[in-house]
A and B are shown apart, each in its own frame.
Chain A
């Protein structure tokens, strides 16, 4: 709880600084926009959080979103059915997750290598699949999902809220959630306590893929277009969001709330840079620095905890 509090304070501080720095920041339009963007990042990062909780990693989430979105868009255009497209995208996301899980549990590949290979494979397939084309122009009804408002609040925020609550329930109020934390904290001890480790890991990676698929649909609705490179800039911010949010790369600690706060923090920083007319090209750099700092804090926190024993 302390960790969450510190992070909220950091968010508040950044918000305060930005309010002072520019008039445009503290306006409803801008704030809602920040929340909308953070929600999108959160959706992608939520499944990823689960994999990191097990001391694993899913590097393929960004590429998964990209290909799932392109697939969904293609199906939507060809069949004129939003529902079918959404199912296709979601299903594909799940499929990728299952494949990742199998590579890790059956082939026993290290998670970062398995998902790294998957990332590039998906990338390549996406470019091939789209053949350099762009698909755009979806129905206004569908676009509401990404760009619309409901009761004055952007729709993605509701989606985010649903999954924040659902995710919170899963991690805190299900035995599955507790087993996930246990596996990350000490996989062998969990195994020797009767936790079906491989089954749980398969499920975790499947969920990561599923959330990527879901995020793809919302993203598609927001962008109103799909092309091969939409997934590329998504992976780094997703990982950054999880790490900033306090989830440890070494497994066993962290939360989805933290990931949301991390997404919020990152989005605020980017928003601030945009409002202050800082060249957008600085963003990867800032994200990279933030990632390194977050992991460093994680490493030091661990070392301190171990020294205390």
Chain B
């Protein structure tokens, strides 16, 4: 079976389908990769890239579809099978053992004599242009060097297909250049590289072809891609069916959140923004731009190292003006000042899955509802019922464990939690991710109601149409800094991308 050029592709994945309980992760997805090419795999979180790669490396079995290597159909029952056939995957969290040395890591599970392993490891590292002492423990190496060890590990298994998941996420510009040099060398040797990354600017540097996935389906397959904005639309583009906002904020109220030159221990540098009552302010940027880090720093979940966060005139963290150092910030202070955070990972950070809907809803508001410390079950139940009704949370009873609710309803419980706390300022981090269309509309409605009653919202979203349709204005981040602000009139997907991707 040969492709356009008459050459049999190295890898062909055709019609791959894979479901997990409740979600169809892959729906008839295909991917063709030629030897010696760098093939970009693009898609939002949840689009199916990871699942597809796990099928490729033998960790998951597809329900339908076939995989061909060099034209021959193969079955990959286990990671061992995949490895034997020359597929190597470098996950974003490396598969390295921190307290073993370089050689031991490269040859994990395939150890030979010590001298032999070290010599071979050294040789591999040198072909990759690096000279590391192979007796160094891996945890002592920098991230870039660890990555080289991972590549060496793949090469030592005669990998012909190398999958790299977000390889440049933690590298400096200089290290990225060297990585690309190595990749080009690998290409020359006929190795095919499947490159998963959100950094679209890298496409120009090294990509030969691009496959775009969205919601578990193929959306596009492009040769020599150049139009990056087109790609983003392909990844994200969902035609806006209904209008999200009835009316935008004409006259914002007083300043609710005032952030000045904020820096945090997670890398946020010198961020300044304001949010006024009645506004929905967006925080835009590509993955890795630092939006969640900034939100967490504002909320006090991460430590503030300099700058200041002021809510309703009250300094929560840092230092503003003549006042003294107000501390590094804490969620306790933030909540008491009226802030609420709806985190990106609602299951691990927003809810206690094994606790009931009622317990989750009431948690953030305990202090407000019961200031003396005595808990009255009936009052709590009334509040919970009230919120379940207001937000239309679909649950047969408030005693149901949160785990059993659908994604959309779980999200509503998290939002409801902040209602109980009496929050007036909300930070939403990817509020509609993983939620069905109906629930999405409801959440937009909630946001609208909130700001119409005088609350303020700071919203992070990777879905550009959503950002444009819901926000009054937006700040754009890149590389952990705020690089621009777009008012209502200028707020468009194109403008956001321009700032987010450093288009001159």
Q: Interface residues, chain A, CB within 8 Å of chain B?
A: 172-179, 181-182, 185-186, 188-196, 252-253, 305-306, 308-309
Contacts and interface: CB of A to CB of B under 8 A. Distances in A.
Interface in B145-183: none
Contacts of B299: 192
Closest 7 CB pairs of A and B: A194-B335, A185-B352, A186-B352, A175-B366, A193-B364, A309-B403, A193-B363
A67 B351 CA distance: 41
A196 to B, nearest CB: 5
A190 B374 contact: no
A308 B404 contact: yes
A158 to B, nearest CB: 25
Interface string B315-333: 0000000000000000110
B312 to A, nearest CB: 16
A211 B359 CA distance: 27
A194 B421 contact: yes
7 contacts: A172-B377, A176-B373, A186-B355, A193-B335, A194-B421, A195-B332, A306-B403
Given A186-B348, A191-B331, A178 B359 contact: yes
A191 B331 CA distance: 7
B370 interface: yes
B282 interface: no
Nearest to B333: A194
A253 B331 CA distance: 24
A304 B332 CA distance: 34
B450 interface: no
Contacts of A174: 373-375
A192 B375 CA distance: 21
Contacts of A194: 331-332, 334-336, 364, 367, 421
B387 to A, nearest CB: 15
Contacts of B349: 188-189, 192
Interface string B352-365: 11110001001110
B354 A190 contact: no
Contacts of B332: 194-196
A191 B334 CA distance: 11
B336 A192 contact: no
A102 to B, nearest CB: 19
B349 to A, nearest CB: 6
Among A178, A185, A186, A196, max chain B CB count under 10 A is at A186
Contacts of A179: 363, 366
A193 B374 contact: no
Interface of B: 299, 301, 331-332, 334-336, 341, 343, 348-355, 359, 362-364, 366-367, 370, 373-377, 401, 403-404, 417, 421
Nearest to B376: A173
Nearest to A177: B375
Given A174-B373, A189-B349, 6 more contacts: A175-B375, A186-B355, A189-B351, A193-B363, A309-B353, A309-B404
B375 A172 contact: yes
Contacts of B404: 308-309
Among B301, B332, B359, B401, max chain A CB count under 10 A is at B332
B362 A178 contact: yes
A305 B352 contact: no
A188 B349 CA distance: 6
A1 to B, nearest CB: 11
Contacts, number: 88
B366 to A, nearest CB: 4
Contact of B363 (A176, A178, A188, A252): A178
Contacts of B370: 175
Nearest to B362: A178
B335 A305 contact: no
Contacts of B343: 192
A191 B362 CA distance: 14
Contacts of B353: 185-186, 309
A292 B1 CA distance: 59
Given A174-B374, A309-B403, A190 B352 contact: yes
Given A192-B350, A194-B334, A252-B352, A182 B417 contact: no
A176 B366 CA distance: 9
Contacts of A196: 332
Contacts of B359: 178, 181-182
Contacts of A192: 299, 301, 331, 341, 343, 349-350
B331 A189 contact: no
A291 B187 CA distance: 58
A176 B364 CA distance: 12
Contacts of A189: 348-352
B412 to A, nearest CB: 15
B302 to A, nearest CB: 11
Contacts of B335: 193-194
A173 B374 contact: yes
A42 B454 CA distance: 52
B364 to A, nearest CB: 4
A186 B299 CA distance: 19
B366 A252 contact: no
Among B299, B363, B366, B374, max chain A CB count under 10 A is at B363
B403 A182 contact: no
A202 to B, nearest CB: 14
Contacts of A308: 403-404
A191 B353 CA distance: 15
B341 A305 contact: no
Given A173-B375, A186-B351, A305 B336 contact: no
A189 B343 CA distance: 9
Given A189-B350, A192-B331, A181 B403 contact: no
B366 A181 contact: no
B465 to A, nearest CB: 28
A278 B351 CA distance: 49
A306 B370 CA distance: 32
A90 B102 CA distance: 55
Contacts of A175: 366-367, 370, 373-375
Among B364, B370, B417, max chain A CB count under 10 A is at B364
A193 B367 CA distance: 11
Contacts of B417: 193
